[in-house]
A and B are shown apart, each in its own frame.
Chain A
């Protein structure tokens, strides 16, 4: 299966610890997105990359959050000094990103469920 892969699937951490999640997009996809989803809500856009360039960040992405996509392939999302309010599902999605604009189709991973105790 060559879909979007996210690791780990689940992460439990203590408040104040740092955590890092990884996303491997579909291999030929240039765009990669990160979202946060809490229970009972839809995904909320956090940031996205076109190849290795981080093109946009949401106001939801506080200074404690950082995302990278160093070689334009996989991406990591790090949360420093985690807080209980960071508990959520973190979803990654990828798309071809070759000018399709509003018509581009996103493929989501299964997410990383973060619980901050």
Chain B
């Protein structure tokens, strides 16, 4: 089946630093989604990307849909303590017709030191 590889697995950064994480796949995806999950909660959608090369921002978050359609990137600028959580990428392949059937990566755990 489809698999997504997220890196890094975890990050420990200082408040104010910028963060970059990425997600890669061996197969092509038509949609990339980025979610954040906080302890004891379900994932919350941050950004959705639908076209190769697309660059989309949501506040301090910026995500890009890779040109090859096999990767995506998420950047967080000027991190703050409330950015702490697990960031998941999720992708939809050519045969998937609704976002609920996304394949999720295993997440990047972000820790921000004040």
Using a CB–CB cutoff of 8 Å, the interface residues on chain A facing chain B are 4, 31, 33, 40-45, 48, 56, 91, 93, 95, 97, 100-106, 108-111
Contact = CB atoms under 8 A, between A and B. Distances in A.
Contacts, number: 70
Contacts of B104: 41-44
Interface of B: 4, 30-31, 40-45, 48, 50, 88, 90, 92, 96-102, 104-107
A56 B100 CA distance: 11
Contacts of A48: 100-101
Contact of B42 (A45, A56, A105, A108): A108
B100 A110 contact: no
Contacts of B88: 42-43
A42 B42 CA distance: 11
A4 B45 CA distance: 14
A102 B42 contact: no
Contacts of A95: 98-100
